[in-house]
C-alpha cells in the first residue's frame, strides 16, 4: 500500500490546508470592522526653547515642551483577533521649509486584558519635540492626534487615526526658564 512517509505527507498537507482555511476565516471575520473611536486631547503647559543641536554644524534648533491630557476608551477595539494595540500620539505641523512635519511624542503598548481606558492628566512627552530649524517658535497651527496599530492574530495590520484632534500654538518668545 502506501508507505509511512506518504501517509505522513498526506496528513501534514491536509492539516496545513485546514489551518490555512481557518486562519483566512479568522481574517475575514474581523477585516471590515471599524477600529476608530473618539478621543479627547488637550495641552496644559506649552514652552519652546532654542537649544544647540550638538551635531556637526552646532546650529541651534527649536525644542518644544508640552504636557497633555488624553481621555479615551479603547476597550471595544479588542476582539478575539486582536492581540495588542500600539498607541501613539503624533504632533503634526507645517513650517517654511517643510510642508508636513510629523513627530511621535508618546507611545504605549496595550495588551489584551490590560486596562485600555486612557485617562492621563498632565503627561510629559516621552520623546523630544525637536524641529530641524526654527519652525516651532510662534507656530500657530500644531495639531495633536492619537493613532494606533491593531496587532491581530491573523490578517492585516491596520493603522487607525482617532476621531478628534487638538490644535494649539507655541509661544512667540523663547522660554529661558528651567522645566
Summarised one tens digit per residue, pLDDT across range 46-81 is 999 988 877 656 788 889 999 999 999 999 999 989
> pLDDT class for 1, splitting at 50, 70, 90?
low
Query: pLDDT higher for 135 or 70?
Result: 70
End-to-end C-alpha distance for the chain, whole angstroms: 81
pLDDT at position 127 is 94
pLDDT at position 52 is 80
User: DSSP code of 7?
Assistant: H
**Whole-number Cα distances in Å, 119 to 15, 69, 90, 149:** 45, 8, 17, 19
pLDDT at position 98 is 86
For cell 506649552, name the residue.
46
CB 60 within 8 A of CB 133: no
Phi, psi values for residue 157, rounded to 5°: -110, 85
Q: Which residues neighbour 15 within 8 Å (Cβ) at sequence distance 6 or greater? A: none
Strand partners, 90: 104, 145
Q: Which residues neighbour 69 within 8 Å (Cβ) at sequence distance 6 or greater? A: 40, 41, 42, 43, 44, 120, 121, 122, 123
**pLDDT above 60: residue 179:** no
CATH of domain 35-168: 2.60.40
The residue extents of the domains of the chain are 1-30, 35-168
pLDDT at position 120 is 94
**pLDDT above 90: residue 148:** yes
Residues 20-39, mean pLDDT to the nearest whole number: 89
CB 87 within 8 A of CB 105: no
pLDDT at position 147 is 96
**pLDDT above 90: residue 29:** no
pLDDT at position 122 is 93
Amino acid at each position: 500500500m502506501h508507505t509511512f512517509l506518504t501517509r505522513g505527507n498526506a496528513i501534514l498537507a491536509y492539516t496545513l490546508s485546514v489551518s490555512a482555511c481557518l486562519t483566512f476565516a479568522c481574517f475575514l471575520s474581523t477585516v471590515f470592522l471599524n477600529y476608530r473611536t473618539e478621543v479627547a486631547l488637550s495641552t496644559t503647559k506649552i514652552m519652546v526653547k532654542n537649544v544647540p543641536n550638538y551635531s556637526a554644524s552646532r546650529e541651534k534648533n527649536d525644542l518644544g515642551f508640552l504636557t497633555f491630557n488624553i481621555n479615551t476608551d479603547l476597550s471595544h477595539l479588542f476582539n478575539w483577533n486582536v492581540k495588542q494595540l500600539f498607541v501613539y500620539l503624533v504632533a503634526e505641523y507645517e513650517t517654511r521649509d517643510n510642508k508636513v512635519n510629523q513627530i511621535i511624542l508618546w507611545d504605549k503598548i496595550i495588551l489584551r486584558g490590560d486596562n485600555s481606558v486612557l485617562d492621563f492628566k498632565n503627561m510629559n512627552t516621552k520623546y523630544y519635540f525637536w524641529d530641524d530649524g526654527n519652525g516651532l517658535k510662534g507656530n500657530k497651527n500644531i495639531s495633536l492626534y492619537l493613532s494606533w496599530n491593531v496587532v491581530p492574530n491573523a490578517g492585516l495590520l491596520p493603522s487607525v487615526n482617532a476621531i478628534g484632534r487638538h490644535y494649539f500654538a507655541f509661544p512667540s518668545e523663547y522660554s529661558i526658564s528651567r522645566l
